[in-house]
Amino acid sequence: MLRVMLRLLVGILLMTPLLAGDLQVGVGRIKITPDKPIYLSGYAARKKPSEGVKQELWAKALAFADKKNGKFVVVTTDLIGMSRSIAERVGAEVEKKYGLRRAQLMINSSHTHSGPTVRDNLETMFDLTPEQKQMIVEYGNGLVEKLVSVVGAALGDLAPAEVSIGHGTGSFAMNRRLAVNGEIKNSLNPAGPVDQDVPVFRITTPDGKLRAVLFGYACHNTTLGGDLFLVHGDYAGVAQADFEARNPGVTALFMLLCGGDANPQPRGTYALVERHGKSLSAEVSRVLAGPLKKVDGPLRASWQMTELAFAPHTRAQYEEELKGTNWFKQRRAEVMLRAYDKGKPVTAIPYPVQAFRFGKSVTLVGMGGEVVVDYALRVKKEFASEDTIVAGYTNDVMSYIVSKRVLKEGGYEPVESHIYYGNPGPYTEEVEETVMAAVKRAMEKVGRKK
């Protein structure tokens, strides 16, 4: 009997490494660099397509699964932003091929301003020829296929894993909304709100070998300016590439957090983009070398859709814009007048909010649009009982998502930016509470309470 018990004990001990964690994780990656000259998005001053590739662009995926078939996938992309039309096509194909519901798929964009224009995202920013428009359509079609493929690769790579999280501090994000003579200018504001948090997920094999890291930061990827025409991932691309070079075989994924009103400082050169990216990579390494908190299942995912209402507008307003000399406003007016002609003036826009919760340890919130820092600070304060990470630029980037404070202050984010997004104009004063109500519903669905 004693011999039998000893054999059972040895068997249990041998099995322990396989059962050590509650989670399985899979990793995937695919190159999404455009193979032809294409308009780089983000800067309206650009008047010609790209002239080459300085750094390759990637889509990367992390698939998480628990013991009870809970599952979700995080996809990161070196892109200006995802459009709803692209994301919906990807979601539909992923569900068809892999049985993953839309709520279980989160797609984040780094918002590099040296990446290709994505279909339906900021297209009104440029005066494109039919051939250039077709190039964007073709790139978007290929992008759908690649994003579906990278999700499948991550799901096919699922293996027992240990997941943990830690936090570091960034150094180069600065608020860019400065009050000058009662008006908000797009300028440096060292006293303005900013979020320097650098959350870092570590994914290892059960025996401790590093497989992947997922990290985030709340700052525009605009170190490189509109006078440059080479494809590049900006500081986020450098940070990922630098970490991977220092850790061969490891995949590094970057998520952009709520950096809608923050720019990197200083900025403007390739030397500075290297400096910022490598400093972020070094901070990730520093976090990994310190104490981390274990992350377990069960995994829960939720998805909430709401609508953000625009301030009232009239057909006459856009007829006047069409007669003006500002060609950006003229193109926006054409979009708005077509909607009026169809009897469907644009009065609101769909808005997605998503939540991924790991056990009772950490929740990742994904919010659409260029989300200003006020939201991250508010969500983390209101849901302070557990670790909470708030990412903007997720699933759809349709506009800046401004707080009530920023809306009242005025300036580029709440007003002028809508011209380039092809939207009618500022949101109503209810925008913040509408967004927060969706966040709260998403949190409740995954069991989070204030």
Q: What is the pLDDT of residues 383-424, one digit of tens each?
A: 999 999 999 999 999 999 999 999 999 999 999 999 999 999
Q: What is the pLDDT of residues 141-163, one digit of tens each?
A: 999 999 999 999 999 999 999 99
Cβ-based neighbours of 192, under 8 Å, separated by 6 or more: 174, 175, 176, 177, 178, 261
Q: Considering the entire predicted model, what is its pTM?
A: 0.94
60, 108 in Cβ contact below 8 A?
no
Question: For the residues of 206-245, what is the DSSP string, one character each?
Answer: TTS-EEEEEEEE-S-B-SS-TT--EE--HHHHHHHHHHHH
Chain CA centroid to CA 204, Å: 23
Plot region of 309 (φ>0 → left; ψ -120 to 50 → alpha; else → beta) = beta
79, 56 in Cβ contact below 8 A?
no
Between the alpha carbon of residue 21 and those of residues 110, 158, 289, the distances in Å are: 30, 13, 20
- Residue at token pair 């910022």: 276
Q: What are the average pLDDT values for consecutive 10-residue runs of the chain, which has 450 residues?
A: 39 38 92 97 95 98 96 98 96 98 98 95 85 94 98 98 98 97 94 98 97 98 97 98 98 98 98 98 98 97 98 96 94 96 97 98 97 98 97 98 98 96 95 98 94
Q: Which residue in 147, 202, 159, 148 sits closest to 358, CA to CA?
A: 202
Q: Quick one: tokens of 305?
A: 């859709």
